[in-house]
Structures are given as C-alpha cells and as structure tokens.
Amino acid sequence: MKHLPLMLTLGLAITLQASAFANPLRPDKQDKIAVEVVKAVTEIMTPDNMKSTGTQTITTSSGRKRTFEFDSYSGNKGERTLTRYTKPAAIRGQAFLTLNNADDIWTYFPRTKRVRKLASHAKKQKVQGSDFTYEDMGGGDVFMTKFTPKYLGDQEKNGELCWTIELIGIEAEDPPYPKIVMWARKSDYAPVHVDYYDENNFNTKSLSLTDIQNIEGIPTAMKMEMVDHQERSRTIMETLDVTYEWEPPDNFFSERSLKK
C-alpha cells in the first residue's frame, strides 16, 4: 500500500499527459472544432489582398548563409501570388507568379527576358534554394481543400495555449504533404507552429511563426522560420513591411507584371 500514492500520482500524470492530445470531446464535436480552427487559420493566412517586402535568409547544413530581399503580392485570398526578388544582384528581377493556389507557376528570368511556365512537379521545388517550396508560398486555401482536419486537443506551444490540429491529406486532391500538424493560438487562431510529415510519417520540416503583430486587424507573423530536418538547413523569412489594404490593379497577376 505504501506504493499507492506513487501509483496514483503516476496514473494522474499519465492521464493529464494523454489529455493534452486525446481530448474528451465527442468525435463529431472534435471534427467541428477542427474545421472551425482550420477555417479561421485559413482566413488569417489568406487575406483578400496583401503587399509586402521581406528578407529570406537561408542557412545551409554547413552553416553558410545567403540573404535575399523580395517584394511579394497576393490576391484573391492567396489564390494568386507574385514574388519578385530585388537583392542580391545575381537574381535581381527574377520573379515568379502562381495562380490557382500554385497549380500554375510561371517564372521570369531577366537575363534572358524569358517567361517560363513550370509544370506542377515544380510546385515541390525549393524557391531559390530555400526550405520553402512554391507550394508553401502560394498555397492559398489548401488546408481547407486538400486536407481532412482532426482536433487533437489543446497544447502549449511557443509559450501560447494552442489548438492542435492534425491535417491528413486527401489523396485525390494531390495534397502538398501527406500529413501536417498545426498549432494555432486559442486567443486569435494565429498559427504559431506547423510540422510537415512525409509518407513514412517522418517530420521532414517545421515552420515556426513568431513576432506576431496585429497589422490592420490581422495577426501577422513577422518572422517565419522553416527548418528542414532531413537536410539540416533553415530559412528565415522576415517581413519588413506589409499592408492588407492594397488593391491589385486589373490583371495584376499576369505575365505582364512578372516582366515589370
């Protein structure tokens, strides 16, 4: 009997630990929460329009760094994006346009003044050697359309109490990843961390979203860090300036703007 308190304590600890993920809600209630959270996160991550400038710093596994600067535009709730690099000199003017949530991608090379349409396999290519793919940067509402969400419970992440949502890819929709686990703040649904998994359920990449500021009513992560666990590289994207009140001119997301 002298071990009873210890067993009770252990049992309580295990129960509490488990409850952090396995929540007591009924499955239909869990699904409802998951859908609501994903919808709210998508709303935050895909504002109607956005115009920003930022930097992208890539650190390779050997510790070498490269920093790029870019102007970025998105419209129609992230369904269309245009990104143009302004620095360094070697890639100045290079730009890419994504339409239909990155199902269609065009790149522009200023040296040859040529626009090239990329096939969909290019969606999974790294943008300028970074740890972000074209699909990561132009995904739009893919969380809602290409995944089935599941609420895993509440958990503290990056010092914030978060909804924890698992997203399982719908195979017929050609999801960018087979599985994603996402943490979104309970206070305002702002995502703070995302883990990406491969077919073997291996956590290949992790995205941390920090320095979240309220910009024109929208919680905005001013710093995003993507870590590639396989290649041991990381890419930090920092937003220097952003506005959601920008209205794209007619036909802005077109080949014409790529070549500007």
Task: Choose between 77 and 126: whose C-beta lies nearer to another protein.
Answer: 126
Task: Choose between 19 and 67: whose C-beta lies nearer to another protein.
Answer: 67
Task: Choose between 102 and 167: whose C-beta lies nearer to another protein.
Answer: 102
Residues near another protein (CB under 8 A): 60-62, 64, 66-67, 88-90, 92, 103-104, 109, 111-114, 116-122, 124-126, 129, 251, 254-256
The least CB distance from residue 143 to another protein, in Å, is: 22
| Rounded Cα distance, 18 and 189, in Å | 23
Helix (H) or strand (E) holding 29: helix 27-45
Task: Choose between 11 and 88: whose C-beta lies nearer to another protein.
Answer: 88
**Angle at the Cα of 242 (from 240 to 246), degrees rounded to 5?**
150
By residue count, the chain amounts to: 260
The least CB distance from residue 45 to another protein, in Å, is: 25
| Rounded Cα distance, 229 and 178, in Å | 16
The least CB distance from residue 129 to another protein, in Å, is: 7
- Residues 6+ away with beta carbon under 8 Å from 12: none
The least CB distance from residue 177 to another protein, in Å, is: 13
Q: Compute CA distances 140 → 79, 150, 169, whole Å.
A: 5, 20, 15
The least CB distance from residue 251 to another protein, in Å, is: 5
| Rounded Cα distance, 170 and 153, in Å | 22
Task: Choose between 9 and 61: whose C-beta lies nearer to another protein.
Answer: 61
